[in-house]
């Protein structure tokens, strides 16, 4: 199984799938291709919260603002899973979750040793004069579409290799250094939690990094100065009302029942969030 | 085969897929994940019009404005198909179509008996402090993501069980009551049809509940007071012109050739539609 | 393997998948369903640039502004690939790429000979009065959804037939004529290239039809009168700056690093593009 995650929109992911399916019989599963453009942190969050629900698989990830620079392309083994993507930290939070107590192994992809991606022959006399070699003949891989030309073939190779034998692949070499990324954590001092918005989801739910346990035994909190009822579900408040709840990732979310929390609270990813207890008895 | 339908947008459906693929080797097919948010009626329409084209399958449906309330999670057997989703009526119109003359059997999912969804172990020392148990330790399932924690595991279990043996599953018990939903039907009195807009599709086509037979032998109709030519296809009128046609669901649609019918007619889901014959001879 | 491409949005593609999966065990791969509506040229471009990365497959394409007119439904054999779609030219540029030096064979689908698409029986007494036969009983196929009623069953039939035996299928007959489409090509005279914008992608990258080789050994060009640095990658210019680069299709693209080239250059599909050398020494 190979999962695919990118910020490519449409139809670029299809070319990656074609390359993979020409080299592998892997089952393909899309995680998302509409992640916020070139937002490594948002992608790292969604991967960390989604991939642990999968059985062992190869996870292809291309959220890659540094495409074409000298950043490495890497393969990460995390427990029984492997991740393939750019060395910009996007894979790390998910890798830690997937590895558990097992060590994380990181390899650099030697792009020159990958079997080059070669699309079907092009007719000679059709007046359509695009160069046969992607990237305008400047090299074996396009400078702008490593998803198709580097990561997809690498993912297929990794998928076809028993996970214990990754280190023996000639297209991989041990990484000496890699970019780390840690998603920010909240601090709880006394009854006050200081954190930030990790992401806003498609529903407009504001997902903070404050652990859901902060809401235990509270009926009302004050979020950035505004009183908000605490509910176990959206439906504990009337439609259109605000509610603080423990979201499906285990964090405090600031939501609106059947509405958009980001609009109601005026919050977006990266914004600071301070949660405080409400005065008792006036909730 | 398991089909998936939700209003989740992206990337939440991927977590459901991960859970299913960890428990089943089902082929997964997306129906849609961008249905109008928490709109049970629209989802019921699209399921009724789409699922009957599938071979026998398990259909996972999560359009669930009551998530976290005491509404039941149910499994419905309809002929050779099974549907898994919330007990809010969303499954019923499709179930009637799929069952044909066969009885419809409904079971309540006993959430406590499902094997709990457990994501991969989390590293201890990575400073990322989310609780291991989704839902903040408040129970085996998140209060806000039953798609991942209840419906996905239930769909996998149902898929792995021969359909004749559903009643024997320990996670199911016979339902004593269930929520029904009937999509509204139009009335045709004399030459006048009174109905309503069931949905507007992605093209902007206004899909009414007036049977397509109303258009038989008519060249022009009056829709909500406005004259509209009747065409067998969009292309019978110039680009940008309005046309009444029999849509692919068998109902009268109010469309614009290569344009949006909803804008041209000023209609949205739930609006009333009155169709009348045009004066003969002046079409 | 059957790939699917359309401008249907959601959820119409699911009905096509249901029909196919009832008649075939093909692996399904989506190319895109959000292509620009009824834009044959844009679809032809994306198919030409994407399908050649796939192993031999059946490619179902429904971008069909003439649905319901007397345009033919066709099957095209191109090398080891087959394409199924409307006879409006959309398949041709991809077919030329896929065929290489092999001849292209075209067949007309005899719609009357296809096994009709029949959704599951509908209950009689449920008050939901849609006609059982799609298209309002006006014929075996809906006039507006040939994707479901004509192209999907044809693709399934083609997929289940060895490619050498296509000519023997009773649902196909040799085409006497077919609609051609050639994407426009640029002209390079001296140091000046005159071309046009083929498409704008989801990132806002402006993809022209000027071969990427035009940029070789240039540091700066003048595009429609404006000086633009040439870069091997987006990242050679600061975030938000314009850059001319060789895109992944081998053509000159006018882009913005982490921004939208179409907005920055004021260009959309079909617009003219003139590229000229910059005065040397002042780049």
Q: pLDDT tens digits for A106-164?
A: 999 999 999 999 898 654 334 454 444 443 333 446 777 999 999 999 999 999 999 99
User: Which residue from B28, B38, B142 is facing A248, i.e. has the nearest CB?
Assistant: B142
pLDDT digits (tens, 9 = 90+) for B206-239: 999 999 999 999 999 999 999 999 998 888 899 9
Asked if B131 and A215 come within 8 Å (Cβ–Cβ), the reply is no
Is B280 exposed, middle or buried (CB count within 10 Å of its CB: 0-12, 13-18, 19+)?
Answer: exposed
**What distance in Å separates the CA atoms of residue C29 and residue C32, rounded to the nearest whole number?**
9
d(CA C8, CA B218): 28
The residues in B 96-115 lying below 8 A from C, measured between CB atoms, are 96-101
User: By C-alpha distance, which of B208, B216, B184 is closest to B262?
Assistant: B208
The rounded distance, in Å, linking the Cα atoms of A47 and C69 is 47
**Mean pLDDT to the nearest integer, A59-81:** 93
Q: What is the pLDDT of residue A197?
A: 97
Residues of chain A positioned with their CB less than 8 A from the CB of C93? 126, 128
Asked if B233 and C67 come within 8 Å (Cβ–Cβ), the reply is yes
Q: Which of C144, C56, C95, B159 is nearest to A18 (CA)?
A: C56
Q: Which residue spans within C151-225 are E strands per DSSP? A: 172-174, 187-189, 192-200, 206-211, 220-223
pLDDT given for residue B143 in this prediction: 77
Band of the pLDDT at B88, cuts 50, 70, 90?
A: very high
Contact with chain B for residue C148, Cβ under 8 A: yes
Query: Which regions of chain C are under pLDDT 50?
Result: 123-127, 129-140, 281-283
Q: Is the pLDDT confidence value at A47 over 90?
A: yes
Query: Residue A138 has what pLDDT?
Result: 36
Q: What is the pLDDT of residue C68?
A: 78
Which residue in B248, B249, B252 has the most chain C C-beta atoms within 10 A of its own C-beta, making it the best mutation to test that interface? B248
pLDDT at site C136: 37
Question: Which positions ≥6 away from B262 have C-beta within 8 Å?
Answer: B200, B204, B205, B206, B268
The backbone region for B140, taken as left when phi is positive above 0, alpha when psi lies in -120 to 50, beta otherwise, is alpha
Q: Which chain B residue's Cα is nearest to A185?
A: B128
pTM for this one? 0.93
Q: Contacts of residue C120 in chain B, CB cutoff 8 Å?
A: 51-52, 79, 81, 97-98, 100
Contact yes or no for A90/A181 (Cβ under 8 A): yes
Q: Half-sphere exposure (CA, 13 Å, Cβ side) for B34?
A: 11
Q: Which residue has the tokens 């498409």?
A: C199
- C121 and chain B in contact, CB less than 8 A: yes
* Residue B83 Cα to chain centre, angstroms: 11
Min Cα separation C115/chain A (Å): 30
Q: Contact A250/B131, CB-based, under 8 Å?
A: yes
**End-to-end Cα spacing for chain C:** 50
Answer whether A130 touches C (CB < 8 Å).
yes
Q: Calculate mean pLDDT across residues A45-49.
A: 97
Q: What is the pLDDT of residue C121?
A: 61
Q: Is B270 left (phi over 0), alpha (psi -120 to 50) or beta?
A: left
Element (H, E) at C205: none
Mean pLDDT of A77-100: 97
The pLDDT value recorded for residue B136 is 37
Chain A to chain C Cβ contacts (< 8 Å): 148
Distance CA C3, CA C243 (A): 34
Q: Which of these, A267, A260, A153, A155, lies nearest to A209 by C-alpha position?
A: A267
A13-17, A35-39, A118-122: segment of lowest average pLDDT: A118-122
The model's pLDDT over B200-214, given as tens digits with 9 standing for 90+, comes to: 998 899 999 999 999
Type and span of the H or E element at A159:
helix A152-159
User: Maximum distance among all alpha carbons in chain A?
Assistant: 82
> Which residues, in sequence order, are bridge partners of residue B253?
B207, B245
Q: Would you state the pLDDT for residue B130?
A: 44
Residue C143 Cα to chain centre, angstroms: 22
**DSSP annotation of C226:** E
Judged on CB neighbours under 10 Å (0-12, 13-18, 19+), B4 is: buried
- The pLDDT value recorded for residue A135 is 37
The CA-atom distances, in angstroms, between A162 and each of A37, A97, A110, A157, A190 are 33, 21, 19, 10, 49
User: Nearest 5 degrees, angle CA C131-CA C133-CA C137?
Assistant: 80
Q: Which residue has the tokens 């398991």?
A: B2
Q: Where does the pLDDT of residue A280 fall: very low under 50, low under 70, confident under 90, or very high at 90 and above?
A: low
Confidence band, pLDDT 50/70/90 cuts, at residue A18: very high
The minimum CA-CA distance between B203 and chain A, rounded to whole Å, is 18
| C258 to A65: CB separation less than 8 angstroms, yes or no | yes
Q: Output the pLDDT for position C234.
A: 83
- What's the mean per-residue pLDDT of chain B? 90
CA-closest candidate to residue B6, choices B68, B61, B84: B61
Shortest Cα distance from B175 to chain A (angstroms)?
23
List % helix, strand, coil for chain A (3-state, nearest 5): 25, 30, 50
Q: Do B122 and A212 touch (CB under 8 A)?
A: no
Residue among C1, C4, C267 at smallest CA distance from C152? C4
**Structural element, H or E, at residue B256:** strand B251-256
Provide the 10 A C-beta neighbour count for residue A34: 15
Cβ atoms of A109 and A72 within 8 Å: the answer is yes
Residue B129 has pLDDT above 60, yes or no: no
Q: Which two tokens stand for residue B235?
A: 């292309």
Query: Residue C129 has what pLDDT?
Result: 43
Q: pLDDT tier at B135 (50, 70, 90 boundaries)?
A: very low
Tokens of B35: 């249905």
With a pLDDT cut of 70, the percent of chain A lying above it is: 91
Instruction: Specify the pLDDT at position C122.
Output: 53
pLDDT at position A129 is 43
Q: Which residues are within 8 A (CB) of B117 and not within 5 positions of it... i.e. 6 or more apart?
A: A53, B19, B134, B140, B141, B148, B149, B152, B153
Q: What's the whole-number average pLDDT of chain A? A: 90
Token pair 């929109």 is at which residue? Answer: A9
- Better pLDDT: B109 or B130: B109
Share of chain B above pLDDT 70, in %: 91
Q: According to the model, what pLDDT value does residue C133 have?
A: 40
Q: What is the pLDDT of residue A141?
A: 64
Q: Which of A11, C66, C14, A34 is nearest to B202 (CA)?
A: C14
Lowest mean pLDDT among A236-240, A251-255, C135-139, C267-271: C135-139
* CB neighbourhood size of A85 (10 A): 29
Residues 10-49 (C) with a CB less than 8 A from some CB of A: 27, 29-32, 34-35, 46, 48-49
Q: Which residues pair with A272 in a beta bridge?
A: A196
B117 phi and psi, to 5 degrees? -80, 120
Q: Are B96 and C126 inside 8 Å of each other by CB?
A: yes
Q: Which of C250, C255, C257 would best serve as a mutation to test chain A binding (most A beta carbons within 10 A)?
A: C250
pLDDT at B71: 92
Q: What share of chain C is helix, strand, coil (3-state, %, to 5)?
A: 25, 30, 50
Provide the 3-class DSSP secondary structure of residue B108: strand
pLDDT at A188: 92
Please answer yes or no on whether A183 and B128 come within 8 Å at the CB atom.
yes
Contacts of C190 (CB under 8 A, 6+ apart): none
pLDDT grade, residue B61 (50/70/90)? very high
- Report, as an integer, the average pLDDT of B142-165: 94
């Amino acid at each position: 199984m190979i999962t695919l995650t990118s910020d490519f929109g449409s139809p670029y992911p299809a070319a990656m799938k074609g390359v993979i399916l020409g080299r592998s019989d892997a089952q393909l599963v899309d995680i998302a291709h509409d992640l916020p453009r070139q937002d490594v942190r948002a992608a790292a969050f969604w991967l960390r919260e989604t991939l642990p629900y999968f059985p062992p698989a190869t996870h292809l990830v291309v959220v890659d603002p540094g495409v074409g620079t000298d950043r490495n392309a890497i393969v990460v083994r995390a427990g029984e899973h492997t991740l393939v993507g750019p060395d910009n930290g996007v894979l790390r939070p998910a890798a830690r979750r997937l590895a558990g107590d097992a060590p994380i192994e990181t390899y650099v992809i030697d792009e020159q040793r990958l079997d080059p991606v070669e699309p079907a022959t092009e007719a000679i006399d059709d007046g359509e004069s695009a160069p046969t070699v992607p990237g305008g003949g400047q090299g074996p891989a396009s400078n702008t579409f490593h998803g198709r030309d580097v990561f997809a073939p690498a993912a297929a190779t990794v998928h076809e290799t028993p996970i214990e034998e990754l280190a023996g692949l000639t297209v991989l070499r041990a990484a000496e250094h890699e970019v780390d990324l840690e998603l920010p954590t909240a601090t709880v001092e006394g009854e006050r939690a200081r954190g930030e918005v990790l992401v806003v989801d498609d529903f407009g739910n504001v997902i903070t990094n404050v652990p859901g346990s902060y809401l235990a035994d509270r009926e009302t909190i004050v979020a950035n100065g505004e009183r908000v009822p605490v509910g176990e579900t959206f439906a504990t408040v009337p439609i259109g009302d605000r509610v603080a709840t423990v979201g499906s990732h285990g964090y405090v979310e600031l939501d609106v029942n059947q509405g958009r929390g980001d609009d109601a609270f005026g919050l977006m990813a990266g914004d600071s969030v301070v949660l405080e207890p409400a005065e008792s008895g006036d909730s």
